[in-house]
A and B are shown apart, each in its own frame.
Chain A
Amino acid sequence: MAQHSAHDSHGGHDQGAHGSLKSYLTGFVLSLVLTVIPLLVVLNDWLEGTPAMVVLLGSAVLQFVVQLLFFMHLREEGKPRYNLMTLLLGIFILVLIVGGSIWIMTYNQVAH
């Protein structure tokens, strides 16, 4: 029993040692697709205005999620999920800063 647990903690094979070639390849292919889609939309003028914005930002956010899952191994984290929690706090602050700045400056008559 003791030997078993000693073996388990030896070598650190579980320290971020996740992922397989398959998951990296999947992540890479998905990232390529999610880069090519907005590129084609913009270069060929397929969409304009709000629909184009939705496709562009949607692809970027999806690619962020793909890299988090397939490259940064977020879903393989054990409990308690501190990495996920700090990430969510970070995203909350980020959205607050970016969204708040845009909101304030859009209605700032002095700046224009």
Chain B
Amino acid sequence: MAHMGAHAHSHDEHHDLESMRLMGFWIFLITDCILFGTLFATYIVLHGNTAGGPTASELFEMPGVIAETFILLTSSFTSGLAVLSMNQGNRKGLIGWLVVTALLGASFIALELTEFVKLVHEGATISTSGFLSGFYVLVGTHGLHVSLGLVWMTALMIQLGRRGITNVTRRKVNVISLYWHFLDVVWIFVFTIVYLMGVM
């Protein structure tokens, strides 16, 4: 009995540590929210200051942006399916859904980069106007977050392949799926405030 109790206790401690780490990541996400909030504030304040350069409604082309939006939304869903497979103890399903999520994320980044290159070729660079400085910093910071997430997800897939589903990798998958949902939420506000309100 005493042995069983001690065993359960050590399990509890390990479990507590992992859930504390998950919570620590949640707090990081909240601070990241505030980072994006300041960038949104800057963009909203500056979006009228075009300094004789192109305006939002002249620049933005919606088909690409709409595709980006649905791609990221779907990838948020598939990262949820990855967690679901993990909870069923299905490692192949877990890695498979992570691969789908990462591929969708990569196509999102590809579309965004294409858009940026096109804008720069049209003469709309980060130094053209206050509006474009705010635009590139806000949308670029989000794109950087997604790119970082892709590198991270790839590393995690390799680790899952080697170690399988353990308490530690389980927490890591939970953390990255939270991160991915968070990036989708940020994009919804970018889509609404930058693009939809820009072309309205």
Contacts and interface: CB of A to CB of B under 8 A. Distances in A.
B188 A15 contact: no
B11 A6 contact: yes
Interface in A63-112: 63-64, 67-68, 71-72, 82-83, 86-87, 89-91, 93-94, 97-98, 100-102, 105, 111
**Interface size class, chain A:** 35 or more
B61 interface: no
Contact of B45 (A5, A56, A87, A101): A101
Interface string A25-60: 001100110010011001100001000110011011
B181 A67 contact: yes
Contacts of B31: 90
Nearest to A93: B34
12 contacts: A12-B15, A12-B167, A35-B73, A42-B199, A43-B62, A56-B192, A56-B197, A63-B188, A68-B185, A71-B181, A83-B26, A101-B45
A93 to B, nearest CB: 5
Interface of B: 1, 4-5, 7-8, 11-12, 15, 18-19, 22-23, 26-27, 30-31, 33-34, 37-38, 40-42, 44-45, 49, 62, 66, 69-70, 73-74, 76-77, 80-81, 83-84, 87, 167, 170-171, 174, 177-178, 181-182, 184-185, 188-189, 191-193, 196-197, 199-200
Contacts of A94: 33-34, 37
A6 B40 CA distance: 48
Nearest to A62: B188
Contact of B4 (A6, A57, A93, A101): A6
Interface of A: 2-3, 5-6, 9-10, 12-13, 15-17, 19-21, 24, 27-28, 31-32, 35, 38-39, 42-43, 48, 52-53, 56-57, 59-60, 63-64, 67-68, 71-72, 82-83, 86-87, 89-91, 93-94, 97-98, 100-102, 105, 111
B30 A89 contact: yes
B185 A52 contact: no
Given A17-B170, A35-B69, A42-B199, 4 more contacts: A32-B70, A64-B185, A94-B37, A105-B45
A2 B33 contact: no
A15 B34 contact: no
